[in-house]
Amino acid sequence: MVPNVDKIPGPQASSVKPQASSSKLDKTRFRDYKGYMKTERALKIIGGSLSKPSKMPGWSIGLPAKECKTGAKLQKVPGSVCYDCYALKGCYVFKVVQDAQYRRLAAIKSPDWVEAMAHLINSKKPDVFRWHDSGDVQDLDHLQKIYKVCELTPAKRHWLPTREAWIKDHLASKPNNLVIRFSAPMVNQAAPASWPNSSEVVTEGGNCPSSKQGNQCLDCRACWDPSIKTIQYKAH
């Protein structure tokens, strides 16, 4: 039976109060002599390094795919986009990788996580960042912190792919430099038209060029482009 992801609630969506947004970094803690956060300290705060997906032009951060709220349910459904999840095989099964992912997951609760992430993203090139090459948004507090990181990195373009339908209720406060794409849960299923941006996995066709260029993005930045409503990825 295919789960109705629109009815899977974000349990924290009604219980967590939004935190006040800030566009300025707090420059009172963990600073070098110039007043900026030290990269070494930032890496410790987020629980390790950022990840560098081989196919993509920018950086990312990986969380354990086993802890996806909706994705973990879809992993058990044949024909779903998560049934053969790439983040549950290959190098992702190594203990050192999984331990790092769980450290990053726990680190989200740190009061300094937002500032540390903003520091690391601002220090990287190019100007695009993908949220979660593995894993997904955990709760409303996590989403709000991502929003704050985007606000503190205005020169960067952010892309957040997700299977968490409850996020649609919180798009009004989304920063302009963040594109959130809701993923259709089943292969060859159309994404809900009510989402401003979305993605689909298809067995034929598709408008993502990576399948024709060695599984690489190269100069394509469509996933970060809010004017492109739906991206269709060719199923591997």
pLDDT over 80 (residue 84): yes
pTM here is 0.85
pLDDT for 176-219, tens place per residue?
999 999 999 999 999 999 999 999 999 999 999 999 999 999 99
pLDDT tens profile 211-233: 999 999 999 999 999 999 999 99
- Residue 31: the pLDDT is 56
DSSP strands (E only) in the chain: 59-62, 128-134, 157-162, 178-183, 198-202, 230-234
Edge-to-edge strands, sheet with 198-202: 59-62, 128-134, 157-162, 178-183, 198-202, 230-234
What per-residue confidence (pLDDT) applies to 10?
56
Judged against a pLDDT cut of 90, whether residue 143 lies above it is answered with: yes
* H or E, element range at 221: none
Mean pLDDT of the chain: 89
Q: Is the pLDDT of residue 8 over 70?
A: no
Cα 207 to chain centroid distance, Å, stands at 21
pLDDT at 27: 47
**CB atoms < 10 A from the CB of 180, how many?**
24
